[in-house]
Amino acid sequence: MTRPLMCLVALTVVRLLLAACLPVTPDEAYYWIWSHTLQASYLDHPPMVAWWIYISTLICGDTGLGIRLTAPIAAAVGTILAVLACRDFQTVLLRDRPLVRMLDPVAAGILLNATLALGVGATLMTPDTPLLFFMALFLRAAARLVRTGDLRWWVLLGVSAGLGFDSKYTMILPVAGLGLWCLLSSVRRKQLLTPWPWSGLGIGAALTAPVVWWNATHGWASFVRQGGRTGDWHPASAPGYLGELLAGQFGLLTPGVFLLAGMALVAAFRRRTDVDRLLLCLTCVPGAVFLQHALGDRVQPNWPVLIYPALMCLIGVQAERRWKGAVRLGYALWGLLVCQAATGFLPLNRHFDVALRQGGGWTTFSENIALRSQEAAFIASDEYGLASELAFSLPNRVVLGAEPRWTLFDLPVWSCRAGWGLLVRNGRRSFPPGSPWATLAKPVGTIVRSRGGREAERYDLYQIPCPIPPEPAGWLRKLPGAGRG
């Protein structure tokens, strides 16, 4: 076993240990709920993350490791795929320019793992986890197509594109980039006259058909939710949104890798070989869409992570010698973040400590909620993440989702004929306009979630009398318990 592979195995073991030890975040608990009601799609995202959690919980049960088991493994395999893709791209470039110096292709994998996006994403389970894996597979298939000229690689391109779309809708952007690359080259345009590209397209469409079917039978709910703000235009807010987008990438790539990626993009624009055009299309088409979106609305920092494998390959075909410094900084920042998440050793408040806000104090908080609701018929929340976290943490209690999104899930309808229930919601947020809970719920107190004496979040508690009027009662769905108690 070579030294880089041994290091990757060791890193994967560390990530598996972290996956087992770190607290489950609200979004992870939400996706865990999905895995208990498998569907062709969901309001927020396609279903791949639910299937991955379903498989891993069959092995490790309804635990933190059970939710995250596939994340470190997928990151390791995806790293190998990215390295192999970079090696193929270098081989093609060296055919025409044999004296050009390039980095060892292993550098692409090392750089990818030095980003906070993969460092954090490999220990948590989100839709970006399978997306990054299938993007690495997509990149590997594209590299083999370029190196070998074997058109059968279009089939794997279709498979990886379809499964990537089943992970997150943004997979359509690198697919569009691949199409643009084909149109820019006479050789690739000739390939479009053969059946292989269309076979790959057909396979990809078939793999995405269940997601389209679910949307068609649910009022296009997910497509409308994800694409409804595409054409927004707010020039007064655009500078702030663009600044947030760049700052987010500066952080998730880490500063050194961010600068290397910028230099690699400039160098690729200057060379404009077939490989450069391919990698530029795979990165710049999604990048242009995210920039356009930032003109009218906020772009979440994690959205552009699907282009990171291609960016690392762009860096890998350079002769940049300063990459090791960027790697050291990236791993140091990842280690600092992990230590903060595990111990909270830095005295940061909730505004600067994401780990505190997302994962701090859930066990004690859930125990306090259980004590405050001993006589209650149910516990509910009209916030999906909070309801999911309570369902995961309180396996022996009836926990209800109490907002319209839950009607899109195949979960048991629940009604309360007598007694009362406890509604829990974020104390920093008001009831949405027109919420029936605002008039039904009676305040009964406040509870704080904290870690080490530092407040993570504050929650208001409300008593809900039964029976409940039809409108909010129609939203109530019983969330699955973790089954550990």
- Return the pLDDT at 104: 86
Q: pTM of the entire structure?
A: 0.95
User: Peptide bond preceding 467: is omega within 30 degrees of 0, i.e. cis?
Assistant: yes
Q: Which amino acid is at 378?
A: F
Provide the edge-to-edge strand list for the sheet that holds 442-451. Answer: 442-451, 454-465, 420-426, 378-381, 399-401, 477-478
Q: Identify whether the C-beta of residue 475 lies closer than 8 Å to the C-beta of residue 409.
A: no
Q: Identify whether the C-beta of residue 131 lies closer than 8 Å to the C-beta of residue 123.
A: no
- Return the pLDDT at 483: 47
The 10s digit of each residue's pLDDT in 53-102 is 999 999 999 999 999 999 999 999 999 999 999 999 999 988 877 656 77
Q: What is the separation, in whole angstroms, between the first and last Cα of the chain?
A: 43
Q: What is the 3-state secondary structure (H, E, C) of the chain?
A: CCHHHHHHHHHHHHHHHHHHHCCCCHHHHHHHHHHCCCCCCCCCCCCHHHHHHHHHHHHHCCCHHHHHCHHHHHHHHHHHHHHHHHHHHHHHHHHHCCCCCCCCCHHHHHHHHHCHHHHHHCCCCCCHHHHHHHHHHHHHHHHHHHHHCCCCHHHHHHHHHHHHHCCCHHHHHHHHHHHHHHHHCHHHHHHCCCHHHHHHHHHHHHHHHHHHHHHHCCCCHHHHHHHCCCCCCCCCCHHHHHHHHHHHHHHHCCHHHHHHHHHHHHHHHHHCCHHHHHHHHHHHHHHHHHHHHCCCCCCCCCHHHHHHHHHHHHHHCCCCCCHHHHHHHHHHHHHHHHHHHHHCCCCCCCCCCHHHHHHCCHHHHHHHHHHHCCCCCEEEECCHHHHHHHHHHCCCCCEEECCHHHHHCCCCECCCCCCEEEEEEECCCCCCCCCCHHHHCEEEEEEEEEECCEEEEEEEEEEEECCCCHHHHCCCEECCCCCCC
Encode the chain (485 residues) as per-residue pLDDT tens digits: 588 899 999 999 999 999 999 999 999 999 999 999 999 999 999 999 999 999 999 999 999 999 999 999 999 999 999 999 999 999 998 887 765 677 789 999 999 999 999 999 899 999 999 999 999 999 999 999 999 999 999 999 999 999 999 999 999 999 999 999 999 988 889 999 999 999 999 999 999 999 999 999 999 999 998 876 666 666 777 788 899 999 999 999 999 999 999 999 999 998 888 999 999 999 999 999 999 888 888 889 999 999 999 999 999 988 667 899 999 999 999 999 999 888 888 888 888 888 899 999 999 999 999 999 999 999 999 999 999 999 999 999 999 999 999 999 999 998 888 899 999 999 999 998 989 999 999 999 999 999 988 999 999 999 999 999 998 999 999 999 754 43
- Return the pLDDT at 485: 38
The 10s digit of each residue's pLDDT in 250-290 is 999 999 999 999 999 999 998 888 999 999 999 999 999 99
- Return the pLDDT at 484: 45
If one counts every other C-beta atom within 10 angstroms of the C-beta of residue 194, the result is: 11
Work out whether strand 420-426 and strand 477-478 pair parallel, antiparallel, or are unpaired: unpaired
The 10s digit of each residue's pLDDT in 202-215 is 999 999 999 999 99
Residue 361 token pair: 């104090």
- Closest by alpha carbon to 134, among 309, 257, 268? 309
Work out whether strand 378-381 and strand 399-401 pair parallel, antiparallel, or are unpaired: parallel
Q: Identify whether the C-beta of residue 421 lies closer than 8 Å to the C-beta of residue 466.
A: yes
Q: Identify whether the C-beta of residue 340 lies closer than 8 Å to the C-beta of residue 440.
A: no
- Return the pLDDT at 413: 92
- Return the pLDDT at 103: 79
Q: Identify whether the C-beta of residue 378 lies closer than 8 Å to the C-beta of residue 416.
A: yes
Q: Which amino acid is at 409?
A: F
Residues 6 or more apart in contact with residue 363 via CB below 8 angstroms: 23, 393
